Amino acid sequence: MTDSEVYDHHPSTPPKPSTNRAVQQLHPRDETPVDYIFSRYAVGEQLGKGGFGVVYEGTRLEDNLKVALKYVTKTEHMECISIPDHPDPLPKEIALTIMANKGHRVPEIIRLLDWTDHSDHYVMVLECPSPCENLVEFIRRHGGSLDEEKTRQIMWQATNAAHMCCLRKVLHRDVKLENLLINRETSEVKLIDFGCGDILGSSPFKSYHGTPEYSPPEYHRRGEYQGWPATVWSLGIVMFTLLCGDFPSYQDLLLLEHNKWSKPGLSQECCDLLRVLLHEKPIRRLGLGQIRSHNWFMVVL
């Protein structure tokens, strides 16, 4: 179950579940979450369902704040990790979301408002911005691609979110259109869903749990990759897709690498940034912390 399903699945006539029945199915042996969740939140309609969990819309009772309640069933191989200030190991998704929000608030990173962890499941209470949609839906409503100005506005925020995650030792590992929400009224962007992520260290990663279309070429060549340049590559794929409405082809990437790629209506600075984000060699890519200093961003947003 991915967080993107929380925000982009809105059936025309959504069923109104029986609250007790829904929780009974998710927690057949443990009554603690019933007491905890329903003493603090009103659970509404189901928003999405995946292989391991269900997401409901919800309302925090103390102040009527709209939230998303994500119930996830634990599997035999689900990993738990230890993080500072938490005595017991936590499911990795919870732990990484906490770490990504540690310190001053970064509005471009989805907030974890509350959570419970139990032997066979966990529940995440997530910020639920409204009205919002993921970037796949946003592009579709705008004719299949975006202009340079709107793409610049989105990329500034997406880059800040990804950079702050890495600074906080969190490798999101699934930065993609579906995991970037945009508020239709304010154009504010938020990075969601840390379910594919990992702790970011100096050692290379030898497995990739994100979406294949966003995976870096060095993983396919050598079977390993470093987190920072891999994140830069993913951001490059996001930027290209926003501008062009599709993933770059092999020919696109080859032309970019030789500084011969162009598209009518795009500035030279825009094409140059794509080139240094999507370079085949990780060492030749622009550093994640340098992206927002590129000339393409040197305009008033």
121-127: strand order across its sheet: 41-49, 53-60, 65-73, 121-127, 112-117
Helices (H), the chain: 4-8, 19-26, 32-40, 92-100, 135-141, 148-167, 217-222, 227-244, 250-257, 268-277
* The two three-digit tokens of residue 81, written as one number: 């990790």
Element (H, E) at 132: strand 132-134
Secondary structure letter of residue 78 according to DSSP: -
Classify the C-alpha dihedral 241-244-246-249 as positive or negative.
negative
Contact present, 61 and 40 (Cβ < 8 Å)? yes
Do residues 172 and 197 lie in contact, with contact meaning Cβ atoms separated by under 8 Å? yes
Exposure on the CB side of residue 251, measured as CA atoms within 13 A: 1
CA angle 122, 160, 291 (to 5 degrees): 140
Distance CA 16, CA 226 (A): 45
- Among 3, 174, 193, 198, the active-site one is 174
Q: Is 117 a catalytic residue?
A: no
Active site residue ranges: 174
